[in-house]
Structures are given as C-alpha cells and as structure tokens.
Structure 1
Amino acid sequence: MATGLAATMLAGCNSGDDKASAGKGDDGLGGGKPVPAATVAITPTTGSGKVSPGDPVVVKATGGTLSAVSLTNAAGKQVSGTLSKDKKTWTSSEKLGYDKKYSVAASATNPDGKKAAAKSSFSTVKPGNFTLPYLQNGNGKTYGVGEPIMVHFDEKIPDKAAAEKALKVTTSPAIEGSWSWINDQDVHWRPKTEAGKYWPAGTKVTLHADVYGVNMGKGLWGQEDRKTSFTIGDQIIAKASNSSLHMKVYKNGSMIRDMPFSGGKGGYIQDKYGNNVSLWTPSGTMVVMDTERKVHMTSSSWGIAKDNPQAYDLWVDYGTRLTGDGIYLHAAPWNEGLHGVQNDSHGCFNLSNADAEWAYSHLRPGDIVIMSGTPDKVTLTRGYGDWNVDWDQWVKGSALN
C-alpha cells in the first residue's frame, strides 16, 4: 500500500517543473509570496511506548498532500493503510501486534513541489495477561424470543466499561437494548420491552466483540475479536400454572399444545452442607437452555446424600433444560397418573412420554416457559433469568450507566 501511494503521488508532483510552480510562490521579482512548506505529523509520535495495537497509526499532511507513507514492523514487513480522498491523511487499516516495534516514514509535497519528511518509531504494549470472549449464541442459528445475547470472558474483567464498549450489537429491525453484567466474567444483552414482551419474531442479530487491543484493566488485554449472527424465530411461549397443573404452549399467540404435568412436591430439605434445597418448581420466566435426548439425574449432584429418603439416581428421556440447577421438562411415565392431578417431582415438570417428546422436538433454545403459583422464584442467575429483572434494574447492571 505504501509503495503504491509513493508511486501515485510522485507522478503528479511535477517537482522539477518550473512552469508548474511559476506564479505560485516568489516570482523572483518580489511580486509573489512564498508558499508555506508542507508539514507531516505522525501519531504515535516517535519514542512512544505501550501503544495499543488496536489504535490506528495516523499520518497527516498540512500545507500539502502526502506523497509517500511507509509503516513497517521490526522485520521490515509493510503494514497496510488507506489514503483519504484529499490525500492529506493516511490511516493504517491493519491491526498491529502486541509487544512489537514499528517505524513510520512519510513525506508530503506543497503546491510548489517542495517536500517535507517525518519519521516515527514506537512500540506496542506488552500485556500482563489476555482474555478471550466466548460468544454463547451460535453463528447462523435460530433462537426463541427469550434468548439473551451472552458473552463469557475467560478472565475476570477489572474494567467492565472498557469491555462493554468493545461489544457492539446491531439488529434488524433496530431495537433499543442494554448490556447487564451477571458477574465479573459474564455479560448479557437484551432488548428493552414491556413486561411480558420479548424479542420480536424474525429479528436479525449481529454481535461484534472487538476486544483486540482493548485495555480491560490491571494489565489484562483483549486477545482476539469475535463475531456471531443469529435470527429470532417464531414466538413460542409455554404458560404453566401450579393450580391447574397444565402447561399451555402458544405459537405466535395461538395455543398449539396443552400438556398436563406433575410439578415439584413442595417444601425444602437440607443438603449435606446444611443448606435448604427447594422441592418447588420455581415461578417466573425461564428460557429453554438446551435439549437432551437422555439426561442422567442424581440427587447427589445438588448435595443430597444417597441414604436420604428423597435421594434418586435415574436416566430420563426427552429433557428440555430450563435452569442451570437442573429444572427440566422431561418424560416421567412412572407417575403419569398424577399428571394434571398432583405434584410429585423434586422440582421438574414431569410429562408423559408423548408430551416430553413433543417438547423436546418443538421447543428450541430461547423459547419461553412461564410458571406461576409457587413460592420459589426464578432468579437472574438461575439459568437465563434475565427477563425476571425489570428494565430499570437491568440497565443498572451496565458498566456504562
């Protein structure tokens, strides 16, 4: 790029053509005014250290136009850049490396054909550590209307505002939304909606995690940019009631399935650490996390001793996961006579084989399941509990507010 710039600019300079410069500067008879010399400014300036590799190198000409620019690394490899239409500004278009040395040489020519030159040598920052963003929404996939945009960093983020600024969400149609930090490593984005409303069906979503060259505090820098795009599918919302013990599933507002279930039997038991473990099915808005053809369920996974009367260890069919602590829709043929009649599970929605298989086949990650009528509640960190936080509180979780 730099070589092409020099060749193009020098061909039109007419630096040795006296006629081209006559009348523009001093005409030798004292009747003209000298044309000011061109100047060249380079950012970063020479001697700069700890430069962010995400910041562009910028070369500007004043009183003339750029005739040559060369940005090279320590091995002499050229770094590409672009020249503005007025030929006064050159900006690097290729990101630099961490802990590297670079040299810039540039020249400009004024209207009289007189040249000015400038140089700069600088070095980029050497990070103490790196962090990589893991984008939880798969590229090209279709999700339900409750799917939050999710980013997990593999290190705790000291400067959450810097990290958040590097995460850019675009939607079609355009939708207002906000990030909110779940903890020091996880941040979610969801649209601003009225209560009971979610993503509009058909929305196209793109996330750019442009973290490379971003200082996230205490020597931690972004390791690599990431990108993902996905689509929001039809609106599917399942509404379950602890009083009726029926779950009614709606697609774009029309009911498509009515499934009797047996929910959590209620009450609490103590785990081996002395903590109370709920046996209720939680009330609130849950988001389908994933589906599993067979799920190994054990009470020991949540601290219940094997000799406890509530202990269990079994495989179940057609699991649709709703929370991180193990609330599922799943087949439970052993108590099918209680479905729609009595609660008898440890918290899951027990369904018939037919209904569980239907849910496994028809519900996708991001679809909504709403339970009502129990004292236990879905919290922000219990699965994707984002929709249980009102908007004003959600926005307070942004590091930019």
Structure 2
Amino acid sequence: MIERRTVFRAAIAAGSVGALAACSGRTAGTAEVDPARVPPKAKITAEPAVGARDVSVLAPVKLKVEEGTFTEVSVTNPDGKPVAGGLDGDKRTWTSSEPLGYGSTYTYTAKASGHDGKVAELTGSFDTINPATLVRATLNPVDNAEVGVAMPISVKFAEPVADRAAAQRALAVETSTEVEGGWAWLSDRQVDWRPKEYWPANTDVKVTAKLYGVHYGGGAYGKADVSTQFRVGRNQVVKIHTPDHVMRVYRDGSESASYPCSNGKDADPNLNTPNGTVIVMTKEPTSIFDNERYGYTDVKKKWCCRISNHGEYIHENEENRANIGKNNTSHGCVNLFERDALAYFDSALIGDPVEITGSKADFPLTSDVMDWLLDWRTWMSKSAL
C-alpha cells in the first residue's frame, strides 16, 4: 500500500511539472513581437532642401516619399500661385514642369500616407538666385523671314558674355535639310552660326536659344529664351570682278542678269570696293549718304542694298552715268544705272551673297557681318565648344 501511494504521487508530480512547462511555453509565444514585421514610417524629402538659397531657376523641384505614397503636394510661388508639376505613376515622386522665377521664395507642403497607416508631412521653403545682371539676347533673322543663301544666324547679347561655352550650349539649330555648319564668336557680345557652304535653297530653319537661367559668369544670367523660324529662299549670287565694270547675277547657278557698274576708285585704296564675300544686309528704297572727308553730304540715292557696315552699297547713281560700265570712280559703292538698280533691288533678298574680287583692298574684319570673310577653319576655331 505504501509503495503504491508513493508511485501515484510521483506520477502526479511528474504530470504537474509537464503541464506547467507546456502552459508556460504557450504564454511566451503570444507575447513576443518580430521587429522585422513592424511597417517603417514614411519619410518625405525635398530638392531643393528646406531653407536652400541661391537655387538655380532651372533646377526642377522634386519631392519624394519613401515607405508611402503622396496624398497631397503643393508648391507655390511668392504670389501663392501653384507651380506646375505632377506625380509619377506610383505617387512617390512629384516633379515640377516649369522654370522658376529669379529672386523668389517658393513654399512646399506635402503629405503622404505611410505603409504603417500614419501620415507624414513636410513643409518648407527655398530661395532662388537673385542675379546681379539680367542679360537680354536678340536673334536674327526674325520670325518668318525669307532670306538669301548666305544669311547667318546671329545671337547678340546686351552685355559681354564671360562664359561663352555656357551660352553656346543653350543654342540649337534645326534644318529641314541636313546642313553642315557651326557657331563662331565674333565678339564677346555676338555669336553667329553659318553653314560651311551656302544654304541649300528652300531650307526651313528653326533656332532655339534657351538662355533663361544660364549663368554667363560674373553674376550675369540670361533674361529670357528666344527663338526664330525662317526660310532660305532661292539661290541668288552676285559676282563682281571690279576691273570688268560688270555686276553679274546668278540664279540657281545660271547667269540671270548682268549690269554695267562703276566701282570704287582704283587709284585710292581707301575708296576701293573691297574684295570679299559679303551679304545684302538691308534694302532701302532711298538712302542719304554723307562723307565730309570726300566733300559730299546729304546725297540721296535710290534702290540701295547695303553690303557692309563700312558704307558700301549697291545703288543707282545717274550722276556717274558717264563712268558706269567703263571706269571705277565711286567712293566705294557699286554704282548702277537707275533701271538696273531697281531690277536688282526687286530681285534681292536679305542674306544674298555678293562676291567681290579684283580690288587692291580687302574688307576689314571689323564688321559684325564678317561671316563669309573667314575661311572654314578659322570660323570653327572661334567656337567656344
């Protein structure tokens, strides 16, 4: 009897220990939490950063969220107007789509729903660059112009450009026909593009100068983008060999007209009609000529085509009728009979080339329209890139 009771108690004791152990194990399992299973909090970041200063007006504003998706994004200018922009497909990145203004404070507010079910927020502002100087640029030819086959594209700046490479990188030329050409800086305020050879006739050209926001150096920035579209017309070239006293006009490679002329005085190099390829720069039905050094002022002539910034024109001069076609007696201009001057005037386009040879003097390289006076190697050496 004693032995059986002892065994019975032992069995009960052993069973109790096992039951307690099993119960204790189940309680520990329900209390533990796996850190890897806790959703991370959403985090919003901004570019430019909160409080950033001297931000480029070309820098896109970007707001990004990690571990969540945006529910609200607002970027506003100093007037409280929204900056254009939008979210990407997964609603994790907002990017602006318009340039910013100079010297302005922009404010952003963003909210995102995190994977943890909580809302993340970011508010802040940044300031854009406030330039010491804003530089205006102009483009030539003007919109919708029809020009001759030697017409250069010219970008002129209101102030000197220190970082020419930065400005040149912002320029682009598109043509309807493949054309080899390049940019050349003719001064610190002017960069021109011309084709290696004359433009193909009937070429459509588009020029874009995305200069807004471009730093030219020394605190100067581009004031605005500019652009133009124009068309190259028919191929017309004037050739003058000064000793021949004849001005020949070639249309699409064939001679279409020839006019007797009188060129600059052979005996005086200062009055020669200089050698070189120039272009028709302006067409003036009448023009007034003055040169006190050579004894004339307020002289009116008709059907005038300017071919340089040094005073040379193609125009009528009936007062020199006796020498037209016979002697070179002008002060540097190409003199024609009035009927011939009118006929040529009517046929000419701005940008038509005029090729002059046979003179004792050359056109000086001081004009802002020297494009065809430079050979191609020299031209390309003037590129900033």
Fold shared by both chains (TM-score > 0.5)? yes
| Counterpart in the other structure of 2:134 | 130
Cα deviation, 1:119-175, whole Å, max 9, x if unaligned, reads: 442101111111111112111111001110111111122222222222222222243
Q: Which amino acid aligns with 1:386?
A: D
| Counterpart in the other structure of 1:361 | 346
Q: Secondary structure at the match of 2:215?
A: coil
Query: Does 1:118 find its partner at 2:102?
Result: no
Query: Does 1:311 find its partner at 2:295?
Result: yes
Query: Does 1:232 find its partner at 2:216?
Result: no
Point out the more displaced range, 225-234 or 50-59.
50-59
Point out the more displaced range, 139-148 or 369-378.
369-378
Q: Secondary structure at the match of 1:278?
A: coil
| Counterpart in the other structure of 1:282 | 274
| Counterpart in the other structure of 1:4 | none
- Distance in structure 1 (CA, Å) of the matches to 2:364 and 2:193: 16
Offset at residue 92 of structure 1 (A): 1.3
Query: Does 1:331 find its partner at 2:316?
Result: yes
- Distance in structure 1 (CA, Å) of the matches to 2:214 and 2:368: 29
| Counterpart in the other structure of 1:93 | 97
Unaligned runs of 5+ in 2: 1-31
Query: Does 1:49 find its partner at 2:39?
Result: no
Q: Which amino acid aligns with 1:71?
A: V
- Distance in structure 2 (CA, Å) of the matches to 1:39 and 1:168: 41
- Distance in structure 1 (CA, Å) of the matches to 2:86 and 2:255: 56
| Counterpart in the other structure of 2:24 | none
- Distance in structure 1 (CA, Å) of the matches to 2:121 and 2:380: 50
CA distance 1:351–1:86, shift in 2 (3 Å): farther
CA distance 1:41–1:31, shift in 2 (3 Å): closer
Q: Which amino acid aligns with 2:221?
A: W
User: Identity percentage over the alignment?
Assistant: 38
Question: Which of 358, 361, 371 in structure 2 is aligned with 1:386?
Answer: 371
- Distance in structure 2 (CA, Å) of the matches to 1:252 and 1:321: 22
- Distance in structure 2 (CA, Å) of the matches to 1:68 and 1:125: 27
- Name the Cα RMSD after superposition: 2.2
Cα deviation, 1:285-342, whole Å, max 9, x if unaligned, reads: 0111011111111113xxx2xxxxx322211111000001111000011222322211
- Distance in structure 1 (CA, Å) of the matches to 2:199 and 2:367: 20
- Distance in structure 1 (CA, Å) of the matches to 2:145 and 2:289: 28
Q: Secondary structure at the match of 1:298?
A: strand
Q: Secondary structure at the match of 1:387?
A: helix
Q: Secondary structure at the match of 1:216?
A: strand
| Counterpart in the other structure of 1:344 | 329
- Distance in structure 2 (CA, Å) of the matches to 1:359 and 1:84: 60
Q: Secondary structure at the match of 1:99?
A: coil
Cα deviation, 1:51-103, whole Å, max 9, x if unaligned, reads: 12222212234455443221112332211113334444322122222111111
Q: Secondary structure at the match of 2:175?
A: strand
Q: Secondary structure at the match of 1:262?
A: coil
1:33-112 equivalences in 2 (<5 Å): 33-34=37-38, 36-109=40-113
Q: Secondary structure at the match of 1:392?
A: helix
Q: Which amino acid aligns with 2:342?
A: E
- Distance in structure 1 (CA, Å) of the matches to 2:214 and 2:80: 26
Point out the more displaced range, 245-254 or 161-170.
161-170
Q: Which amino acid aligns with 2:295?
A: A
| Counterpart in the other structure of 2:213 | 213
- Distance in structure 1 (CA, Å) of the matches to 2:38 and 2:117: 12
Contact 1:287 1:385 in 2 (8 A): no
Calculate the TM-score normalised by the size of structure 2. 0.85
Based on CA coordinates, which of the two structures has the bigger radius of gyration? 2
Q: Secondary structure at the match of 2:53?
A: coil
